[in-house]
Structure 1
Amino acid sequence: MAQITLSAPAARPPVRLGRLLTIVLVGQFMAVLDVSVVNVAAPTIRTDLHASGAGLQLVIAGYTIAYAVLLITGARLGDRLGHRAAFQAGLAVFTAASLACGLAGGTGALIGFRFVQGAGAALLVPQVMSLIQRNFAGAARARALSVYGAVLAGGTVVGQVAGGLVVSADLFGTGWRPVFLVNVPIGVVLLAAGARTLPGDRGEQGRGLDLPGLVSLSAATLLFVVPLVLGHEENWPLWGWLMLGGGVVVFALFVAAQRRASSPLVPGRVAGAPGMRSGLVTIFLCMCTFSGFLFGLALHLQGGLGYSPLRAGLYFIPGAGGFALSSLNWRRVPARWHRPMTPAGLVVAGIGYLGLAVFASGGAGLEVAMGLAGLGLGAAFCPLLVVALTHVAVTDAADASGLLAMTNQLGQVVGVATFGTLFLSVAPPTGHALTVTCVALAGAAAVGACCALPPLRRRG
């Protein structure tokens, strides 16, 4: 299939583009950070609000469930309403919900506000990639996507470190509440800056909303995500397996309906663009291993080695640093090596996972292995995004960004559910559990490397 030439965006002063990228990526950073920051604060929340185990799980998972379920819907709303308007609306909802979470007086209220916060993030996040796709071209777009990839990894790790810092500081005796309240001043500043800086657009007014597609895909995602998030805590009850089966059926109905829809939610030209299908599978596996390794290692550091939340969070810095180093510098490699970087990066990440298995007892070896895993994932993920979006027209940016964002988020949920369950199912000590889990992570990384090979063969 011939490459679709993307029209160059209207010329803007470089400072304006820099401000645009800063605004949208800080918004993205907050949304990613709130997935992990609550994990560290969970024990304090449980004590303060007298939350049950199930209630605490919903406080943590409610955000992820709403976020994953509504991402595609958020992308299409951005396409209909305009990406600036959708970004600002999602940011406003996220900021207001963060304030409500920080002031919540009970577990039920906090759970409800976490769902609202996740819905705001689901409206905000797809617009980030759409605004990058529409306003940057060529090397500038590749640079922007590299920073985007670094923000995804950094937000997850910084969430764990920041959560430990904030809870340990216990500012004015507020305990866990600043974990949410810190989003409020940042969100207000971003809203004001976005109103002045983000370019206005009217979206794609001629395209239908495809309500049946939105409903069926959201239902399928919900049926799939809820048992994965809550299944292990509930000892995998029958309702969880029924929901998973129902999710498969509803998703099959969604796919069949999309083929007949006049304005499908996921156009065939987007899903079938060269590099997109293999890119989606590889991104899914990348994020599965990434989230699985973060989850298992966090449990091992705190539960097995007895580290405090802050010390455990600091251990993740080499992984984040490695990811940032490779994701921000991969373009320095000659262009002919950009496509091979994805499978090669996943191989390096797999070697890092095996290193974690060897050095599970801690020390410098563990930190080196984490840095190697992060370095490989960054080298794989960012070139993969560029390849997946190369053949997508600017007018399809919203659909592509929603699809990629949902794949990214589902990969994280599935990674925690599968590799987290594997870790928790292996008999103590946790060092042995981490070893088994990391060997499985290395295997998944190898599968991802194989999935990234088709574009190489097509190019040759």
Structure 2
Amino acid sequence: MTSDPQRWRALTVALVAGFMTLLDVSIVNVALPSIRDELQLSSGELQWVLSGYALTFGLLLVPAGRFGDARGRRNVFIAGLVLFTLASAAAGLATSALWLIVARLVQGAAAGVMNPQISGLIQEMFDPPERARPFGLLGATIGISTAVGPLLGGLLIAVFGEAEGWRWIFYLNIPIGVVAVILGRRWIPVRRSEKSRESLDPVGVALLGLGVVLFLLPLVQEREWQGNAKWLLAVAGALVLALFVVWERRFGREHTALVELGLFKVRSYGLGALIGLLYFAGFTTIFFIYTLYLQSGLGYSALLAGLAVTPFALGSAVGAAVSGRFVNRYGRHLVVLGLVMVIVGLAGADLALTVVEGHAGGAAAAFPLLVAGLGSGLVISPNQNLSLSQVPVARAGSAGAVLQTGQRIGTAMGIAAVGALFFARLADSRGDWGSAFRGALWLTVAFVVVALAAALTDVLTGRRLPGSAGPRDGGPREGGRREHGRHEPGRHAAGAAPQPSSVPDRR
């Protein structure tokens, strides 16, 4: 499969579709006032338009990844793409709150079907020494789509007006989706084992889905459901997820389980999943609170608010592109550097907004946000690459989906925690948007600091293992060279999780 000259074309189609689905996580933020006024949405309905997408997105990631592993990733990817395109058209045509909410839920579900196939296709189409570049492009796609969403949304509203601009946010997906379906059918290869009929673990799917819903629902509804009783759902979700683990261990003795729990014994995968969860808890909340502060606190238009976060988007793109060249050499050390740059950049943005008051604050924070964006580009794609480097290709879809599910849970956790602090400080300070933003910003920094601690744990643990030689042993070797005793990524027998003894010394 790796000799197929069309694999880069296939990757382009997958990344464009992935960009479209991830863009819809953030692009709606600046359009919420227009949607509220046009469809007369309540605050609760508005919350569902924004968070319902993330909820169903996270719900289907692992089952869809497992289904793609077993039945073939191309057809699952295209089916999700078709559904996403149709749901986007329905969202743009919405005439009521219920219509729009249902369309957004279906959109999120379709995105959850598509996205795990992308990392699986990279694992399938590219040999281990080649994967740094496509994973770097995937990281750039994630970073740019999240950061550029507010800018593109503001631009569409400026061009088409308050009443119609928000609809074009969804209509934009239609031509992109149609072209991607046509080219995807032509260029994305069909895996030979696509006719496989191994068990899909329906009990595991049901338990995982129920656990994720119970855990995410109170986070999504944190501002709407008063009182502390809602957190009992999160406790119930944790118990269901514990039952899921017990079931997977039992089911995996004789069949291929939904989630290969043995992968979490591999340091590169287990700590990589934790880093992703914590980083996304801080990373995605930056745009949530910053665009609110700019629009409501400093009086920016939707377009200007989008422009203000563009430096982060540009930095993220450059950082992700550069990281692909160095991840094989420096491994998790590169992630540590990126996390430090994010922390320094966000602290600098806080300082700039404190020193330069008023409408000029957004311009003053541009350079620090550029630094934070460069750091973000060094975190997302290298962490994804390193986390999946020891995953067998046959499990690539479901393993990548578990990582993305952690990212979606982290996003929900971060928005709930940071949003609660933001609005609490806003109320306590009697409308001081600056004070509310800075307090919430430092909570996002705290999430990134904990992610940095996890990354440092991986690096320092690697130094204490036998055979550790130097700081360059953090990832797969360039050119596919293998050291004595090193296990080449992706070469495990299908369905067998790598054992801890086969983990590279330094990852």
Same fold (TM over 0.5): yes
Task: Report the counterpart of residue 462 of structure 2 in structure 1.
Answer: 458
- What are the within-5 Å matches in structure 2 for residues 78-157 of structure 1? 78-157=68-147
Amino acid at match of 1:458: G
Distance apart, 1:366 and its partner CA:
0.9
Q: 1:333 to 1:84 in 2, by over 3 A?
A: closer
Distance apart, 1:402 and its partner CA:
0.9
Contact map agreement 2:269 2:388 (CA 8 A) in 1: yes
Distance apart, 1:433 and its partner CA:
2.0
Task: Report the counterpart of residue 369 of structure 2 in structure 1.
Answer: 370
- Distance (whole Å) between structure 2 residues aligned to residue 399 and residue 332 of structure 1: 26
Which of 43, 49, 55 is the equivalent residue of 2:45?
A: 55
Amino acid at match of 2:394: T
Q: 1:330 to 1:172 in 2, by over 3 A?
A: closer
Amino acid at match of 2:406: T
1:39-95 Cα deviation digits (max 9, x unpaired): 222211122212222222212222111111111111112123210000000001000
Q: Which moved more, 1:247-256 or 1:21-30?
A: 247-256
Contact map agreement 2:91 2:104 (CA 8 A) in 1: yes
Task: Report the counterpart of residue 387 of structure 1 in structure 2.
Answer: 386
1:233-280 Cα deviation digits (max 9, x unpaired): 33x434421211211111111112111113321112333333111101
- Distance (whole Å) between structure 2 residues aligned to residue 122 and residue 381 of structure 1: 18
CA RMSD of aligned residues (A): 1.9
Task: Report the counterpart of residue 211 of structure 1 in structure 2.
Answer: 202
Unaligned runs of 5+ in 1: 1-8
Distance apart, 1:334 and its partner CA:
8.1
Distance apart, 1:319 and its partner CA:
0.6
Which of 161, 172, 176 is the equivalent residue of 1:182?
A: 172
Contact map agreement 2:2 2:127 (CA 8 A) in 1: no
Distance apart, 1:207 and its partner CA:
3.1
Task: Report the counterpart of residue 494 of structure 2 in structure 1.
Answer: none
- What are the within-5 Å matches in structure 2 for residues 54-453 of structure 1? 54-170=44-160, 174-201=164-191, 202-203=193-194, 205-234=196-225, 236-262=226-252, 263-333=256-326, 335-360=328-353, 361=357, 362-426=361-425, 427=429, 428-453=431-456
Contact map agreement 1:355 1:365 (CA 8 A) in 2: no
Distance apart, 1:326 and its partner CA:
1.2
1:278-299 Cα deviation digits (max 9, x unpaired): 1011111111110122212111
1:343-364 Cα deviation digits (max 9, x unpaired): 1211111111211221224144
Contact map agreement 1:97 1:116 (CA 8 A) in 2: yes
- Distance (whole Å) between structure 2 residues aligned to residue 173 and residue 415 of structure 1: 31
- Distance (whole Å) between structure 2 residues aligned to residue 187 and residue 46 of structure 1: 27
| SS in structure 1 at match of 2:133 | helix
Distance apart, 1:439 and its partner CA:
2.5
Task: Report the counterpart of residue 4 of structure 1 in structure 2.
Answer: none
Distance apart, 1:151 and its partner CA:
0.7
TM-score in terms of structure 2 length: 0.85
Contact map agreement 2:414 2:444 (CA 8 A) in 1: no
1:365-384 Cα deviation digits (max 9, x unpaired): 31111111111121122221
TM-score in terms of structure 1 length: 0.93
Q: Which moved more, 1:267-276 or 1:118-127?
A: 267-276
| SS in structure 1 at match of 2:277 | helix
Q: Which moved more, 1:164-173 or 1:220-229?
A: 164-173
Amino acid at match of 2:446: G
| SS in structure 1 at match of 2:121 | helix
1:136-175 Cα deviation digits (max 9, x unpaired): 1234311000110111111112221111111222279634
- Distance (whole Å) between structure 1 residues aligned to residue 327 and residue 115 of structure 2: 31
Distance apart, 1:305 and its partner CA:
1.0
Contact map agreement 1:270 1:399 (CA 8 A) in 2: no
Q: Which moved more, 1:122-131 or 1:365-374?
A: 365-374
Amino acid at match of 2:213: L
Percent identity reads 36
- Distance (whole Å) between structure 2 residues aligned to residue 423 and residue 448 of structure 1: 21
Q: 1:181 to 1:239 in 2, by over 3 A?
A: farther
- Distance (whole Å) between structure 2 residues aligned to residue 270 and residue 383 of structure 1: 18
Contact map agreement 1:319 1:373 (CA 8 A) in 2: yes
Contact map agreement 1:219 1:247 (CA 8 A) in 2: yes
Q: 1:41 to 1:440 in 2, by over 3 A?
A: closer
| SS in structure 1 at match of 2:258 | coil
Contact map agreement 1:357 1:436 (CA 8 A) in 2: no
- Distance (whole Å) between structure 2 residues aligned to residue 114 and residue 45 of structure 1: 13
Amino acid at match of 2:218: P
Q: Which moved more, 1:127-136 or 1:175-184?
A: 175-184
- Distance (whole Å) between structure 1 residues aligned to residue 4 and residue 279 of structure 2: 35
- Distance (whole Å) between structure 2 residues aligned to residue 365 and residue 80 of structure 1: 51
Q: 1:395 to 1:364 in 2, by over 3 A?
A: same
Distance apart, 1:126 and its partner CA:
0.7
- Distance (whole Å) between structure 1 residues aligned to residue 223 and residue 43 of structure 2: 12
Distance apart, 1:301 and its partner CA:
1.0
Amino acid at match of 1:232: R
Amino acid at match of 1:46: R
Distance apart, 1:336 and its partner CA:
4.1
- Distance (whole Å) between structure 2 residues aligned to residue 24 and residue 355 of structure 1: 35
| SS in structure 2 at match of 1:265 | coil
- Distance (whole Å) between structure 1 residues aligned to residue 211 and residue 261 of structure 2: 19
Contact map agreement 1:71 1:405 (CA 8 A) in 2: yes
Q: Which moved more, 1:200-209 or 1:20-29?
A: 200-209
